[in-house]
Structure 1
Amino acid sequence: MSAGQVVRSRDFTAERAWDALDIADLDGTTVRLHWTDQPYIWHVNDGCEVFVVLDGAVEMRYREAGREQRVLLGVGDIFYAEVGCEHVAHPQGAARILVVEREGSV
């Protein structure tokens, strides 16, 4: 992206679930806008992850002390996953999500 560019997140769509628009690389940390209408996969990041719902709703499932937890995230809600937090996102219809994480994370 170029300096000073405006991203209208609601205008971003993708050909397939979880495709992304790269917004920035901040010294090895990426900021990406994702569009999806399908669940992701259970995964554990090798670094921390910040997950911000910009449009739509997402049920975030995560495991804590061996038990599955679920929380419904709406527009403006943020989910923070520390290193080692196993989680999976299940959008409720189409959603746009801003993800900040270590470059190359799953």
Structure 2
Amino acid sequence: MEVVKSRSFTAERAWGSKQIANMQGITTKLHWTDQPYKWHINDGEEVFVVLDGVVDMHYRVNGAEEIAVLEVGDIFFASVGTEHVAHPRGEVRVLVVESEGSV
């Protein structure tokens, strides 16, 4: 049993994380960042939940770039093959659920 106070979580580097759980190969991690990630496609599906701050989530649909503004409580679901990159507006904390070892 563990209680995690996400708003006080920080990391030594952008996209640093704390693993909350690993349930049969599906990880749940709390991330802190103040820098964009990189364009990527996950090995499987990904659930991305904004816990603190605002994230501009860039993604491509049929080669065209789109942007979703994600605020606290918003969820982005990346299905298999979804190319995407998160751009935080300042400091953010996000919860990411994905296959273990995914990009």
Shorter-chain TM-score tier: over 0.9
Q: Which residue does 1:58 correspond to in 2?
A: 55
The alignment covers a number of residue pairs equal to: 103
CA distance in 2, matches of 1:20, 1:104: 13
Structure 2: which 5+ residue stretches go unaligned? Answer: none
Partner amino acid, structure 2, of 1:10: R
Q: TM-score, normalised by structure 2?
A: 0.99
Q: Which residue does 2:7 correspond to in 1?
A: 10
Structure 1: which 5+ residue stretches go unaligned? Answer: none
Q: Deviations over 1:66-97 (max 9, x none)?
A: 10000110000000000100000000000000
Secondary structure of 1:15's counterpart equals: coil
Residue of structure 2 aligned with 1:41, choices 31, 38, 41: 38
CA distance in 1, matches of 2:2, 2:84: 32
Secondary structure of 2:27's counterpart equals: strand
CA distance in 1, matches of 2:48, 2:17: 13
Q: Which residue does 1:100 correspond to in 2?
A: 97
Residue of structure 2 aligned with 1:76, choices 68, 73, 95: 73
Partner amino acid, structure 1, of 2:82: C
Partner amino acid, structure 1, of 2:63: G
Secondary structure of 1:93's counterpart equals: coil
Q: Which residue does 1:27 correspond to in 2?
A: 24
RMSD: 0.4
Give the deviation of 1:15 after TM superposition.
1.0
